[in-house]
Amino acid sequence: MSAKWSVKTQLPVHYTVFESFDLFNPENNALLFDGQNSSLQSLRRVVVVDDYVERLHGERIRQYFQYHEIEYRLISLSVSEDNKSMDTVFQVIEELNAFEVARRSEPVIAIGGGVLMDIVGLAANLFRRGIPYIRVPTTLLGVVDAAIGAKTAVNFQGHKNRIGTFYPPLAAILDTTLLQTLSDRQISNGIAEILKIALVKDTELFELLENYGAAMLSSKCQNPEAMPIIRRSVQGMLEDLESNLWEEKLERLVDYGHTFCPTLELKAVPKLLHGEAVAVDMAISVMLAYQRSLVTYQEVERVYNFMRSVRLPLLHPICTPELLYAALQSTTKHRNGLQRFPLTVGIGSAQFFHDITYDEIKTAVKAIAQLEPDAAMQTSL
């Protein structure tokens, strides 16, 4: 008789998301966070930034760690969707190895946008089979989405985020004062992810966006109403993630706007930012919901009018029914063979569907194209 063993264990997961403002002020100790709520175990840090952060804040970051007498290595990367790859991950790992980062007591700090944080998170997960890292988002999209979840990923062979892991940070530190230097386009990009949460689970958040979203854009999120909106969005996102952090359940409300989006983001010319691709996806999804009598046309108009007010696209010339249906098929494989397509029911709730058809997509795109003819100039309907 052969022997057989069964191993069952659980991995406790705890990470912290907290606000701290004016992070690079030497009097602010937030960047010294080590997860121990005590004095630093090690006065050494690797800090990875993207080249945009280096230009704007590099000198202040250096002065910060010098002030605190921290031995540090500052690594600046030029990152984009085009080089969001394992080659860039290995570049970070080489730096971690050269600095001889300790396995537990020297968290790596990633300061930048979502691409940078994804790359550093994956590198931290692979190095020594996992070392702690801290995310400091410098974009609105990072604050409300990319920094606060558990996923890391890079692109592979023309596929968005095809290689990745679940590896939560030790902490995500949210500093909205860093958003003041962003372009309007980057603010709009982040508002798209707030809109996602509003449409699928929070009517009041949508109403706040209707009232103050344009002010968020014009003030770079420095208006008084911006923080309550951001906090409500973060809370909504974390509520959905906490109960399903490892995506054991593949029907996820936070996947709204992320069905066509991966294909659009990689293939669109001119390029779409992630939030812009999510916006186009949501615009199509809202029209699909209308075609199924899940929302009224007045609700469609409210969503579209808001998107226009914060300069989010409703369509892109690449949006042919053929490409969108192929994108749906690709996402269906990622969702283990079922579409699991979230559609809004009214504004503030959603249901999942598995039977979206090519003809429905064609009709939806045609309807939006009639509303946004300039965005549909190259579509073949």
Phi and psi at residue 243, to the nearest 5°: -80, -5
Question: Which residues contact residue 339 at a Cβ distance below 8 angstroms, ignoring those fewer than 6 apart?
Answer: 259, 328, 331, 332, 353, 354, 355, 356
pTM to 2 decimals? 0.95
For residue 299, pLDDT beyond 90: yes
- Residue 376's pLDDT is 59
Q: What is the mean pLDDT of residues 211-225?
A: 98
Task: Return the closest-CA partner of residue 199 out of 134, 283, 94.
Answer: 283
Residue 291 has pLDDT above 90, yes or no: yes
Q: Which of 61-65, 126-130, 372-376 has the lowest mean pLDDT?
A: 372-376
3-state percent breakdown (helix, strand, coil) of the chain, nearest 5: 50, 15, 35
Q: pLDDT category, 374, cuts 50, 70, 90?
A: confident
Confidence band, pLDDT 50/70/90 cuts, at residue 218? very high
Positive or negative, the CA dihedral 17, 18, 20, 26 is: negative
Q: Is the pLDDT of residue 17 over 80?
A: yes
Residue-level pLDDT at 37: 52
Q: Answer left, alpha or beta for residue 353, where phi above 0 means left and psi between -120 and 50 means alpha.
A: beta
For residues 88-113, average pLDDT? 97
Task: Give buried/exposed letters for 265-301 (b at 16+ CB in 10 A, else e).
Answer: bbbbeeebbbbbbbbbbbbbbbbbbbbeebbeeebbe
Q: Which of 80, 181, 170 is nearest to 140 (CA)?
A: 181
pLDDT at 381 over 50: no
Q: Is residue 378 scored above 80 in pLDDT? A: no
| 38/364: higher pLDDT | 364
Contact yes or no for 216/223 (Cβ under 8 A): yes
Give the relative orientation of helices 184-201 and 297-309 as an angle to the nearest 10 degrees.
160
Dihedral over Cα of 52, 57, 58, 64: its sign: negative
The one-letter amino acid at 317: P
Rg (CA), the chain: 21
Three-class SS of residue 19? Answer: strand
Handedness of CA 261, 264, 265, 266 (dihedral sign): positive
For the stretch 141-198, pLDDT in tens is: 999 999 999 999 999 999 999 999 999 999 999 999 999 999 999 999 999 999 999 9
The model's pLDDT over 304-347, given as tens digits with 9 standing for 90+, comes to: 999 999 999 999 999 999 999 999 999 999 999 999 999 999 99
For residue 78, what pLDDT is reported?
Answer: 96
Distances (CA, A) of 126 to 48, 53, 233: 16, 25, 30
Q: Where in the sequence numbering do the catalytic residues fall?
A: 151
Conformational region of residue 339, where left means phi above 0, alpha means psi within -120 to 50, and beta covers everything else: alpha
pLDDT in tens, 28-54: 999 999 887 544 556 899 999 999 999
In the prediction, which pLDDT does 34 show? 87
Q: Which residues pair with 260 in a beta bridge?
A: none
Torsion of CA 34, 37, 42, 46, to 10 degrees: 20
